[in-house]
Amino acid sequence: MFILSNLGRLPSEFDGQYFVPYLKHNNPQIRFWAIKNIGKLGNDSYLIPISNIVFNDTDPIVKRESVSTIGRMRNENAIPMLLTLLNDSNPEIVLQAIRALLVFSHVSNISAELKKLSNHPNEIIQTVIRKNFFSHQSTSNVQYSHVELPSFMKNVVVHGDVREVMQFVPDESIHLTFTSPPYYNARSYSTYPSYQAYLDFLDNVFKQIHRVTKEGRFLVVNTSPIIIPRVSRKYSSKRYAIPFDLHAYLIKMGWEFIDDIIWTKPETSVKNRNAGFLQHRKPLGYKANACTEYVMIYRKETTKLIDWNMRQYSKEIVENSKITGEYETSNLWHIDPVFDKVHSAVFPTELAKRIIQFYSYQGDLVFDPFAGSGTTGQVAVDLGRYFFMTEQIVKYIERIKEKLVYRPLLSKYNHCFLSLEEFEILSQGE
């Protein structure tokens, strides 16, 4: 083992026959290293002993290494074997076979076989095939380049139901959405006939957001499980795991999960649920004080890497948008909650600041469909981004006006606050 794993680079004339007996060794790690060393020689005369391993070895790691070694040989004689391996039940083996066959993808029957995997049950296989064969096909009706944004949406707040406003928002016009949706029926500003109706409402809104989001850009959603108090002493209160339930909808509509950030607040700032347990101390009656909220990060699914998004910006914008100095490196963000005199559920400017800095560039358009008191917009302007927000309750629109009035950068936009009708008209002029 020691010798096999430490041989390093081998001279081209090295006799690979030394390794062949080890391909039958009882220890899978020795078989693994024997294959790895044979692979370094790039000699196709070992194709047959290695193909025996491919089909007969029971160890998945040894088997995967043997397919990878065959791939590195780039030998046409291996093609029939690699095509057979496309039907293997282990997705890692299929992926290795795909990688090896992509070298021959200019051969029409090979590319035809590979394309058949675009609906493979394994999502990583799907992505590899779609990226290689179908990524140039775009179905959406995109009017703006990646950095551009519609001027009629720059620093605009629309008073209306987001579902109605969204019909006038062009495809792929938003760089980042950061929002905190209504918390089902836990707050006075929203009521839904049922939890399912609430999830259907969010499904509708986030599908629209997906349409208007630019390729490969981010959606950041702040939610937390909520509690609906019990009807009477005869019943228990009900808890709804909003972030977890919403997550399944978001994935299904084409958002890729990127990160879960936990926003923690001091325990003294949240409701105490421990009064009963503190007294009785009986198992099953424990209730944790809820000091956390979720900040879930998603990216609009694309075959392009994040580097592609970064490359769309000029050097100057990239330089000016860099995060300087200290920053939070973990996914645990300790931020004190804030309280607003008008709105009962605002998020702290510090939270918005981090999200906007980490997930957008200067000059980008940042959207908050559930604006509330307008924290997202206020912070976006301060960080040299543009905002677009919707809010359906008039007293919150007034609060946004109050908060934004101090933003000198905004003075040149006199069409900042619009009704749904005004927004529709402006959208048609663009």
Ligand X SMILES: C[S@@+](CC[C@H](N)C(=O)[O-])C[C@H]1O[C@@H](n2cnc3c(N)ncnc32)[C@H](O)[C@@H]1O
What minimum distance in Å lies between the beta carbon of 427 and ligand X? 17
- The tokens describing 369, both together, are 């469909």
Give the footprint of ligand X on this chain (CB under 6 A): 161-163, 180, 182, 189-190, 343, 345-347, 370, 372-373, 375, 390-393, 396
Cβ proximity to ligand X: between 118 and 349 the closer is 349
Among candidate residues 58, 67, 61, 7, the one with its CA nearest the CA of residue 29: 61
Structure-token match 């992926």, residue found: 95
How many other CB atoms are found less than 10 A from the CB of residue 176? 24
What minimum distance in Å lies between the beta carbon of 398 and ligand X? 12
Query: Looking at residue 190, what DSSP letter applies?
Result: -
What minimum distance in Å lies between the beta carbon of 340 and ligand X? 7
Cβ proximity to ligand X: between 146 and 163 the closer is 163
Cβ proximity to ligand X: between 59 and 350 the closer is 350
The CA-atom distances, in angstroms, between 47 and each of 62, 67, 79, 107 are: 15, 10, 11, 21
Cβ proximity to ligand X: between 173 and 208 the closer is 208
What are residue 130's phi and psi, to 5 degrees? -65, -40
What minimum distance in Å lies between the beta carbon of 255 and ligand X? 19
Among candidate residues 203, 151, 149, the one with its CA nearest the CA of residue 176: 149
What minimum distance in Å lies between the beta carbon of 300 and ligand X? 21
The amino acid occupying position 353 is K
CA distance 15 to 38: 9
- The tokens describing 188, both together, are 């006075």
What are residue 264's phi and psi, to 5 degrees? -110, 140
The amino acid occupying position 146 is H
The amino acid occupying position 69 is T
CA distance 328 to 66: 42
| Position closest to ligand X via CB | 372
What minimum distance in Å lies between the beta carbon of 266 and ligand X? 19
Cβ proximity to ligand X: between 365 and 389 the closer is 389
- Give me the count of residues in the chain: 430
Cβ proximity to ligand X: between 347 and 423 the closer is 347
Per-position DSSP letters for 352-371, written without gaps between them: HHHHHHHH--TT-EEEESS-
Bridge partner residues of 257 (DSSP): 298
Cβ proximity to ligand X: between 309 and 375 the closer is 375
Query: Looking at residue 299, what DSSP letter applies?
Result: E
- The tokens describing 121, both together, are 């049950």
What minimum distance in Å lies between the beta carbon of 163 and ligand X? 6
What minimum distance in Å lies between the beta carbon of 222 and ligand X? 7
Cβ proximity to ligand X: between 337 and 384 the closer is 337
Cβ proximity to ligand X: between 171 and 340 the closer is 340
What minimum distance in Å lies between the beta carbon of 378 and ligand X? 9
Cα-only R_g, the chain: 28
